Amino acid sequence: MKRVVITGAGTINALGHDVPETLEAMREGRCGIAELDVRDADRLLVNIGAQVKGFSSEGLFNRQQMALYDRFTQFALVAAREAIAQSGLSFAGELAHKTGAILGNSGGGMTTIDENYRSVYEEGKNRVHPFVVPKLMNNAAASHVSMEFNLKGPTFTVSSACASSNHAMAQAFQMVRTGMSPVMVTGGSESMLCFGGVKAWEGMRVMSKSGCRPFSANRNGMVQGEGAGVFVFEDYDHARARGAEILAEVAGFAMSSDATDIVMPSKQGAARAISGALRDARLNPEDVQYINAHGTGTAANDKTESAAVADVFGRHADTVMLSSTKSMHGHLIGGTGAVELLACIMALRDGVVAPTINYEEPDPECALDVVPNEAREATVDVALSNAFAFGGLNAVLALKRV
Among 186, 298, 304, 386, binds other proteins (CB under 8 A): 298
Query: Mask 336-365, x = binds other proteins (CB under 8 A)?
Result: ------------------------------
To the query of whether residue 294 is one of the catalytic residues in this protein, the response is yes
Considering only CA atoms, give the Rg of the chain: 20
Beta strands 321-323 and 290-292 are: parallel
> CA of 149: how far to CAs of 69, 85, 100, in Å?
16, 11, 10
Stretch that binds other proteins, among 12-20, 134-142, 150-158, 256-264 (CB under 8 A): 256-264
Q: Which of 54, 93, 124, 203 binds other proteins (CB under 8 A)?
A: 203
212 counts as catalytic: no
- DSSP structural state of residue 260: S
**Segment 257 to 296, residues that bind other proteins, using CB under 8 A:** 262-264
One of 167, 331, 344, 366 is an active-site residue; which one?
Answer: 331
End-to-end CA distance of the chain: 17
- State which residue, 43 or 127, has the beta carbon closest to other proteins: 43
Which residues pair with residue 233 across a beta bridge?
Answer: 6, 184
Q: Which is nearer to other proteins, 191 or 298 (CB)?
A: 298
Nearest partner of 105 among 139, 131, 134, judged by Cα: 139
User: Is 212 in contact with 327 (CB distance < 8 Å)?
Assistant: yes
DSSP-H helix ranges across 281-322: 299-313
* E strand segments, 246-402: 248-257, 290-292, 321-323, 352-353, 376-377, 382-389, 393-400
**Region 22-51 residues binding other proteins, contact defined as CB under 8 A:** 45
Of the pair 223, 312, the CB lying nearest other proteins is at 223
* Of residues 182 and 265, the one with the C-beta less far from other proteins: 265
CA 90, 185, 151 angle in degrees (round to 5)? 50
Q: How far is the CB of 298 from other proteins (least distance, A)?
A: 5
Taking the complex as a whole, the smallest distance from the CB of residue 222 to other proteins amounts, in Å, to 9
Q: How far is the CB of 220 from other proteins (least distance, A)?
A: 5
CA distance 390 to 88: 37
Least distance between other proteins and beta carbon 371 (Å):
22
| Residue 238 CB coordination number (10 Å) | 18
In the bound state with other proteins, the residue whose beta carbon lies nearer, of 220 and 268, is 220
Alpha helical stretches, state H, 88-163: 93-98, 110-117, 132-136, 140-149
Closest approach of Cβ 267 to other proteins, in Å?
Answer: 16
The footprint of other proteins on residues 204-233 (CB under 8 A) is 204-206, 208-209, 219-221
Q: Which range in 105-113, 134-142, 268-276, 298-306 contacts other proteins by CB under 8 A?
A: 298-306
Q: Taking the complex as a whole, how short is the minimal distance between the CB of residue 33 and other proteins, in angstroms?
A: 16
Q: In this complex, which beta carbon is closest to other proteins, that of residue 92 or of residue 262?
A: 262
Report in angstroms the alpha-carbon separations of 221 from 146, 296, 297, 336: 36, 7, 5, 16
Q: Is 316 a catalytic residue?
A: no
Choice among 17, 31, 144, 162 that is catalytic: 162
Catalytic residue among 294, 329, 344, 366: 294
* DSSP line for 158-206: E--GGGHHHHHHHHHHHHHHTTS-SEEEEEEEE---SHHHHHHHHHHT-
Query: Closer CB to other proteins, residue 174 or residue 220?
Result: 220
- Encoded one letter per residue, x for contact with other proteins by CB under 8 A and - for no contact, window 81-120 reads ----------------------------------------
Catalytic residues: 162, 294, 331
Contacts with other proteins, residue ranges (CB under 8 A): 45, 203-206, 208-209, 219-221, 262-264, 298-300
